[in-house]
C-alpha cells in the first residue's frame, strides 16, 4: 500500500510494531490508492466481524470520507495491518463561532492481535494529534456508542462531557448544537440510517443500527463494563438495547488533557516494551477515546 509521505507519520510502539497515522488521505491519494486503503481497512473489519457487514464511514469506499479522516493503522513486525482506528473532523457553527469537531469512530483490532494497550494507543495518538494540529487549543470531540466501557472511557478522557451519569441539568447550548448537527448532517459517518430518531434532550439515537452498523448492535449483557459500574447502570437506564439505541457524547480535549494522554501513551508504550504484548479483550465499538 503506497501512501504519499505528505499525509503519513509512523510511530514505533515496541516489539517491532508501529502505528502509522494517515491524515486526510482522501485529499492526497489517487482513487486507486484510496481503493487500496479501503481494501486494507475492510480486511481488518471482516476479521473482527466475519459477516462482512461493516461498510460505513471509512469502510464505505468513499474518497470524500477519507478526505476528513485521520486513520491510525497498527502494523506488525512484517508490516501487515492488524488494526485501525478512524476519527473524522468536521467544521461547525455554534453560537456565532466556528468550531472544529473531531468524531471518534471505529477502533478495530484483528482477533489474533488482541494485545494489551493496542486499542488505547490507536485512539490516544489521533486525539493528541488533533490538539497539536489546532495549535494546542481545545478541540471538541464527539463519541457515539452503546457500550458502557467505551462511554466511561470517553467521560474520563475528555472534559465537560455531556451526557454523563452525574449530569442532572439541561445540556449546554454548544453541546446541543454539536450533537444535533452531528446527527442531522453526518450520521452516515457512524452508520446510522434514516430510520433513526434523535432525542435532543437526552442525546439518545433511537434505532441507531440501521445504516451499515447493524452487525455492531449488542445486548447489554454482551457489552463490556467499565470498571466504574455506574456507567453500566447509567447506560441501562438511558438506552433501549432491544431497539438498538446509541448515546452521543460531547466534550472537549484541552492541552492539559492532551498531556495526560501523552503520559498515558508513554506508560502504555513502556508496558509493551517491558512486558511484551499480552492478550486483552477486543471491543469493536463505535467511538473510542482512551
Radius of gyration of the chain (CA): 18
Give the 3-state secondary structure of 83-110.
EEEEEEEEEEEECCEEEEEEEEEEEEEC
- Which CATH entry fits the domain spanning 5-286: 3.20.20.100, 3.10.20.340, 3.40.50.300, 3.40.630.30? 3.40.630.30
Q: Does residue 136 sit in helix, strand or coil?
A: coil
pLDDT tens digit string along 141-197? Answer: 999 999 999 999 899 888 999 999 988 788 999 999 999 999 999 998 889 999 999
Residues in the chain: 290
Query: Could you state, in order of their start, the residue ranges of all structural domains in the chain?
Result: 5-286
Mean pLDDT of 48-61: 87
Cα 19 from chain centroid? 16
- 285: confidence class by pLDDT, cuts 50, 70, 90: very low
From CA 61, how far away is CA 63, in angstroms rounded?
6
**pLDDT tens-digit readout, 210-234:** 888 999 999 999 998 988 999 999 9
C-alpha span between 117 and 120 (Å, rounded): 5
Helix (H) or strand (E) holding 22: strand 17-23
The predicted structure's pLDDT at residue 288: 40
163 upstream amide cis, omega within 30 of 0: yes
| pLDDT of 279 higher than 80 | no
Predicted model pTM: 0.85
Q: What is the DSSP string of 175-212?
A: HHHHHHHHHHHHGGGGT--TT-EEETTTTEEET---SS
Phi-psi region of 14 (alpha: psi -120 to 50; beta: other; left: phi over 0): left
Distance of CA 193 to the CA centre of its chain: 19
Amino acid at each position: 500500500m503506497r501512501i504519499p509521505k505528505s499525509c503519513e507519520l509512523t510511530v514505533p510502539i515496541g516489539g517491532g510494531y508501529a502505528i502509522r497515522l494517515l491524515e486526510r488521505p482522501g485529499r492526497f491519494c489517487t482513487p486507486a490508492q484510496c481503493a487500496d486503503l479501503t481494501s486494507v481497512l475492510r480486511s481488518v473489519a471482516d476479521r473482527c466481524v466475519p459477516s462482512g457487514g461493516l461498510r460505513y464511514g471509512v469502510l464505505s469506499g468513499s474518497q470524500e470520507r477519507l478526505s476528513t479522516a485521520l486513520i491510525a493503522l497498527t502494523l506488525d513486525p512484517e508490516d501487515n495491518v492488524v488494526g485501525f482506528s478512524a476519527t473524522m473532523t468536521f467544521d461547525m457553527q455554534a453560537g456565532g463561532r466556528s468550531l472544529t469537531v473531531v468524531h471518534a469512530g471505529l477502533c478495530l483490532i484483528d482477533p489474533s492481535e488482541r494485545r494489551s494497550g493496542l486499542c488505547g494507543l490507536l485512539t490516544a495518538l489521533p486525539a493528541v494529534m488533533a490538539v497539536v494540529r489546532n495549535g494546542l487549543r481545545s478541540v471538541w470531540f464527539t463519541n457515539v456508542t452503546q457500550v458502557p466501557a467505551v462511554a466511561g472511557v470517553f467521560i474520563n478522557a475528555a472534559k465537560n462531557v455531556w451526557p454523563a451519569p452525574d449530569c442532572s441539568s439541561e445540556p449546554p447550548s454548544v453541546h446541543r448544537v454539536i450533537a444535533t448537527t452531528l446527527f442531522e448532517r453526518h450520521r452516515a459517518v457512524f452508520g446510522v440510517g434514516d430510520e433513526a430518531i434523535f432525542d435532543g434532550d437526552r442525546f439518545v439515537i433511537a434505532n441507531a443500527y440501521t445504516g451499515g452498523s447493524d452487525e455492531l448492535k449488542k445486548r447489554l449483557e454482551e457489552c463490556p463494563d467499565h470498571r466504574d459500574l455506574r456507567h453500566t447502570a447509567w447506560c441501562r437506564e438511558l438506552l433501549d438495547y432491544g431497539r438498538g439505541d446509541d448515546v452521543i457524547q460531547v466534550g472537549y480535549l484541552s492541552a492539559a488533557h492532551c498531556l495526560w494522554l501523552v503520559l498515558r501513551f508513554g506508560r502504555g508504550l513502556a508496558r509493551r516494551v517491558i512486558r511484551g504484548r499480552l492478550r486483552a479483550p477486543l471491543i469493536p465499538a463505535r467511538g473510542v477515546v482512551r
